[in-house]
């Protein structure tokens, strides 16, 4: 495939994924976060919610919840559309297959044994759409002895070794303050779907994407995983959130708080010593290079900790930043969200919500020229039922009412 000529290019580019439609059988965090990325890039994402359970469980997550609206749900589902569909009923299945015929992808984040059981795989749906991409994001994948096990981010941080790497040396194993396995898995699913759709359009054949939280977590071990798999390396935790092999690269306590300093290059180490008034360390063979500083970590940090406590955080940040040393104060969340850089980059955006009034959200990190992620509230459960069925399936009012009467949308659909 080749790019369009200059004469053929639109003067105002469309959203990158404006011509992509994704059905999402999803709930809670990882799956919705992945399809939120696609929605932010312009894809039409249609949440297929189970009427028997009140839809996505994320609708009911406290503390900021009102009925079937919550700010948790809003974060993961703004800009999407919603339909209610009973996938376990024959009528609901028939509607799903009609939806699939007009979609590019079907994403789900159910247990690994559920896609096959519910017929949400390529083999089960290709007869309606041979270009369909079916993406399963589960705890352990669709195969293997653990495929049927339920799983959450916390469990994966434990099983993958993340928690053994995190925390103070004498403290308990510690999870990340955020559900990073979920969120990274969502990004991975979005990438897999985009790649699958591209291949399907190029080659005319869709297929399955089989992703797992477990394998995403393992992949994020990156170099530490390589060390362990190759050399049976067993990492040791260091205090103050220190880097395992670069010194200094950690948090330091100042006179009135905490800051982080990252001397990941020799030039940063030299500049740090100059700012800290520790020029004599530059001629000390114990600290001559990264390897030497690692060998003599304890001796070096004893010197640095004492010096860092002599000045307040603001003084250190100002001086080190002026010298070009990577540095940052350890902030509270409200302070973090008030950085002038955020305003300059329009990184917090707001929109009107029928329940919560003004909702302010962190803007998408996916910035592509000529496109800005749309700002629309997350949908009420089933809010787009008729419109989606008319547009995607070609249903008329009579066909919609027949499906309703047969229980396709749940027995409480009226």
- 385-407 confidence digits (pLDDT tens): 999 999 999 999 999 999 999 99
Q: Write down the mean pLDDT value for the chain.
A: 95
* pLDDT tens per residue, range 341-367: 999 999 999 999 999 999 999 999 999
pLDDT at 252: 98
Contact 163, 155 (CB under 8 A): no
State how far the Cα of 386 lies from the Cα of 383, in Å rounded to an integer: 8
**Whether 137 contacts 107, CB under 8 Å:** yes
Q: Is the dihedral of CA 56, 60, 63, 66 positive or negative?
A: positive
Assigned CATH topology for domain 21-220+352-405: Rossmann fold (3.40.50)
pLDDT of res. 373:
86
Taking the C-alpha atoms of residue 107 and residue 80, their distance in angstroms, rounded to an integer, is: 13
Catalytic residue among 233, 238, 243, 353: 243
Task: Give per-residue pLDDT as tens, 129-169.
Answer: 999 999 999 999 999 999 999 999 999 999 999 999 999 99
pLDDT for res 1: 45
**Domain made up of 239-330: CATH architecture:** 2-Layer Sandwich (3.30)
pLDDT in tens, 208-263: 999 999 999 999 999 999 999 999 999 999 999 999 999 999 999 999 999 999 99
- Non-local (6+) Cβ contacts of 391 within 8 A are none
Is the model's pLDDT at 5 over the cut of 70?
Answer: no
Per-residue pLDDT, averaged over 37-59, amounts to: 97
- Does residue 243 have an active-site annotation? yes
What ranges do the domains of the chain cover? 21-220+352-405, 239-330
Q: Is the pLDDT of residue 12 over 80?
A: no
d(C-alpha 188, C-alpha 190), whole Å: 5
Question: pLDDT grade, residue 33 (50/70/90)?
Answer: very high
Cβ neighbours for 167, distance < 8 A, ≥ 6 positions apart: 173, 174, 237
- What does the pLDDT read at residue 356? 96
């Amino acid at each position: 495939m080749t790019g369009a000529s200059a004469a053929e290019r639109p003067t105002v580019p469309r959203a990158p994924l404006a011509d992509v439609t994704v059905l999402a059988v999803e709930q809670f965090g990882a799956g919705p976060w992945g399809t939120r990325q696609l929605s932010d890039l312009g894809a039409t994402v249609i949440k297929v919610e189970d009427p028997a359970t009140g839809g996505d469980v994320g609708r009911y997550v406290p503390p900021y919840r009102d009925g079937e609206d919550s700010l948790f749900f809003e974060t993961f589902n703004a800009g999407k559309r919603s339909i209610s569909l009973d996938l376990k009923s024959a009528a609901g299945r028939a509607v799903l297959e009609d939806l699939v015929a007009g979609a590019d992808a079907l994403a789900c984040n159910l247990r690994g044994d559920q896609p096959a059981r519910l017929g949400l795989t390529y083999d089960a749906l290709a007869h309606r759409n041979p270009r369909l991409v079916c993406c399963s994001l589960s705890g352990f994948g669709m195969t293997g002895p653990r495929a049927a096990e339920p799983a959450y981010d916390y469990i994966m941080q434990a099983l993958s070794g993340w928690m053994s790497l995190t925390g103070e040396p004498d403290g308990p194993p510690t999870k990340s303050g955020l559900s990073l396995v979920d969120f990274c898995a969502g990004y991975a699913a979005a990438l897999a779907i985009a790649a699958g759709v591209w291949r399907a359009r190029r080659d005319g054949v869709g297929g399955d994407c089989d992703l797992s939280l477990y394998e995403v977590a393992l992949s994020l071990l990156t170099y530490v995983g390589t060390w362990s798999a190759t050399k049976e390396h067993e990492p040791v935790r260091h205090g103050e959130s220190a880097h395992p092999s670069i010194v200094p690269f950690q948090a330091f306590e100042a006179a009135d708080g905490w800051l982080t300093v990252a001397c990941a290059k020799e030039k940063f180490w030299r500049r740090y010593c100059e700012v800290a008034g520790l020029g004599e360390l530059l001629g000390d063979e114990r600290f001559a290079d990264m390897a030497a500083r690692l060998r003599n970590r304890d001796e070096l940090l004893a010197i640095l900790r004492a010096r860092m406590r002599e000045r307040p955080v603001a003084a250190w940040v100002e001086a080190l930043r002026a010298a070009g040393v990577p540095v940052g104060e350890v902030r509270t969340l409200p302070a973090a969200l008030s950085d002038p850089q955020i305003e300059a980059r329009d990184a917090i955006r707001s929109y009107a919500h029928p329940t919560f009034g003004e909702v302010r959200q962190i803007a998408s990190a996916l910035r592509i020229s000529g496109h800005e992620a749309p700002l629309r509230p997350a949908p009420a459960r089933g809010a787009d039922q008729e419109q989606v069925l008319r547009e995607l399936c070609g249903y008329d009012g009579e066909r919609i009412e027949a499906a309703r009467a047969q229980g396709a949308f749940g027995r409480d659909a009226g």
